[in-house]
């Protein structure tokens, strides 16, 4: 089911296991951080996300709400969450709304909406 796939994907991100997360996305995934732009394809997805995850000492994503529609390997999942990343200077905790589209049992679109100014301020506060 789509919701279970996204939960497995998020669990892999939280475990900082980008290889497992990558195995749950399509070769032509569109990964779109709305205020920052998008990348297309599994290799670009891995290259974009890898350095940020590698810089995190701990990762915790708190899902407040998640809804899913569809089944049998196809559907849409939306969630509201706080993505917590512990960096050298402390925790950054941007609120995020995510959209995932699943086709043939793989995530083909991952789009996150968040406030860029909040993200940049929190990153600056924990990077100094």
Domains along the sequence of the chain with CATH: 2-127 (3.10.450.50)
**Which pLDDT score, from 0 to 100, does residue 128 have?**
63
Q: Which residues pair with 91 in a beta bridge?
A: 86
**pLDDT tens across 116-126, in order?**
999 999 999 99
SS3 per residue for 33-62: ECCCEEEECHHHHHHHHHHHHHHCCEEEEE
pTM across the whole model: 0.93
Query: What is the rounded CA–CA span in Å between residue 74 and residue 105?
Result: 6
Q: How confident is the model at residue 52 (pLDDT cuts 50, 70, 90)?
A: confident
């Amino acid at each position: 089911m789509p919701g279970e796939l996204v939960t497995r994907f998020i669990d892999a991100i939280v475990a900082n296991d980008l290889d497992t997360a990558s195995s749950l996305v399509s070769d032509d995934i569109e990964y779109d951080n709305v205020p920052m732009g998008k990348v297309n394809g599994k290799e670009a997805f891995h290259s974009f996300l890898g350095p940020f995850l590698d810089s995190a000492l701990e990762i915790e994503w708190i899902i407040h709400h998640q809804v899913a529609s569809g089944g049998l390997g196809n559907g849409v999942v939306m969630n509201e969450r706080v993505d917590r990343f512990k960096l050298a200077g402390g925790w950054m905790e941007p609120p995020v709304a995510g959209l995932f589209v699943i086709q043939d049992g793989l995530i083909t679109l991952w789009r996150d909406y968040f406030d860029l100014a909040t993200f940049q301020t929190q990153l600056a506060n924990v990077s100094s």
